[in-house]
Amino acid sequence: MKKVCVDTNMLIWYIKKQCTQGQEDCLEKAEYLFDYLSSKGITTVIPSIVLAELLGTVDDDDLRETYFDFISANFEIVQFDILSSRKFIELKVKQQRNNADIYAKGGSKAKCEITNDQNICASAIASGCDTIFSHNLKDFEKFAGGQIQILTLDYVEVLKREAANNPRPEQVSLFDFAKDDDEDEDDDEDNPPF
């Protein structure tokens, strides 16, 4: 079964239904993404650090418990374990070789945020995820070092085009299954990467 990891911003848009001005389309795209993943039986992974980041922004105890119950019931929560630790070290050493410390000192993100993003990447890779969805494409691509695909919500447009071009199974004619074997229409661009 395929697995997709989501960053905190995806959950803020999907669960809390909050966005900053100019990101209103992210609410609809996040809902589409989570509905798509669920409908395809794709496991959605929430690293424990993402859960902490999300719930740490909720002041109301009852609402925090409601979010926690929803996430626990609908997603796979992965811990930062020994495998994640080893992956974190690998990613960190590789970054240090590539002058990541200069980025950490001069970048606009606090060093703790950078560490959280590295933990998310390490947890996703260690738990066998195929893709991470994050709004922080540049940072996550840098942290992941090509070991996992990083996508933004812009990928939802690809999923929508795919849905428009491919009828749902209940709309497929029996004659569609009688095509010649040499007329293989599968194309990597039409298939999601996860």
pLDDT of res. 167: 66
From CA 38, how far away is CA 17, in angstroms rounded? Answer: 18
Query: Is 27:19 a contact under the CB 8 Å cutoff?
Result: yes
CA angle 45, 77, 20 (to 5 degrees): 65
Per DSSP, 189 falls in state G
Residue with the bigger pLDDT between 175 and 148: it is 148
Q: In terms of CATH architecture, what is 3-155?
A: 3-Layer(aba) Sandwich (3.40)
Report pLDDT digits (tens) over 131-174: 999 999 988 998 888 899 999 999 999 999 998 888 665 544 33
pLDDT of res. 112: 42
From CA 135, how far away is CA 152, in angstroms rounded? Answer: 5
pLDDT at 85 over 70: no
Q: What is the mean pLDDT of residues 76-104?
A: 67
pLDDT of res. 144: 87
For the chain, give the percent of residues with pLDDT over 90. Answer: 52
> Model's pTM, two decimal places?
0.74
Please classify residue 105 by burial: count the beta carbons closer than 10 Å to its beta carbon, then call 0-12 exposed, 13-18 middle and 19+ buried.
exposed
Q: Give residue limits of the domains in the chain.
A: 3-155
pLDDT of res. 180: 45
From CA 143, how far away is CA 147, in angstroms rounded? Answer: 9
Write down the residue that tokens 């922004």 correspond to.
57
pLDDT of res. 172: 42
From CA 20, how far away is CA 34, in angstroms rounded? Answer: 20
